[in-house]
Structure 1
Amino acid sequence: MEPFTENVIRVIKNIPSGYVMSYGQIARVAGNPRSARQVVRILHSMSKKHDLPWHRVINSKGEIGIQDEELYFTQKSRLESEGVHFKGKNRVDIETYRYSPDCEDTI
């Protein structure tokens, strides 16, 4: 497994309950700020295998980016069950719920 992939998995696993991170933020913390799309691919292909809390990853606007209706509602309900409140239909106040780890502590 590539070091960046390992770092992404580690970062996502360390997002605490009730907090979120964006794809781009994860890419930056994992060591490659221009790889937000790669974070999406890693989440898609490795969430089950590595038991990743995928529902804690949102886009940079604070929105759920999933188009599939069932997965959208799964993600929203999981976040709500952790105490994350939504503004409107699908937007999280990212400043309130953003997890900002120390890079050294995460990777």
Structure 2
Amino acid sequence: MDRYVESNWKTQLYTLLDALPSDRVISYGGLARQLDGVNARMVARAMANLPQGTTLPWHRVIRSDGQLADHAGAAEQRARLLADGILLQGNRVPKRYFL
């Protein structure tokens, strides 16, 4: 993938992420389906490489089964989801919160 194409889909990804309602979540695959030639793993890698302190709501992107991903920011993700009013069932976001 050339640098321009990579940059273009990431810009589109960040725009989609920024527009995500505060009371909803989306899966990595859900975002990928909105971007041409992008898969869920590519979205996950892009999300993992967001700069520290970003204002994008990275915490609202979860696995398609509703589980919170197992990563270094998992505790912060959980706290941010709860602060957004998204109630968890254990380590899972109920389907009613999905876009």
1:29 aligns with 2:30: no
Determine the structure 2 residue equivalent to 1:58. 62
Distance 1:82 1:41 in 2: 24
Give the residue type in structure 2 aligned to 1:79: L
Shift of 1:49: 7.3
Q: 2:49 aligns with which of 35, 42, 45?
A: 45
- Aligned partner of residue 7 in structure 1, secondary structure: helix
| Equivalent in 59, 76, 83 of residue 85 of structure 2 | 83
SS in 2 for 1:75: helix
**Aligned 8 A contact 1:17 1:82 in 2:** yes
Partners of 1:49 and 1:3 in 2: CA distance: 22
Query: Does 1:12 find its partner at 2:17?
Result: yes
Deviation at 1:36, TM superposition (A): 0.7
Please, which runs of 5 or more residues in structure 1 have no aligned partner? 100-107
Aligned length: 94
Residue identity (%): 31
Q: Which has the higher helix share?
A: 1
How far has the Cα of 1:29 moved from its partner? 1.2
Where does structure 2 lack aligned partners over 5 or more consecutive residues?
none
Superposition RMSD in Å? 1.8
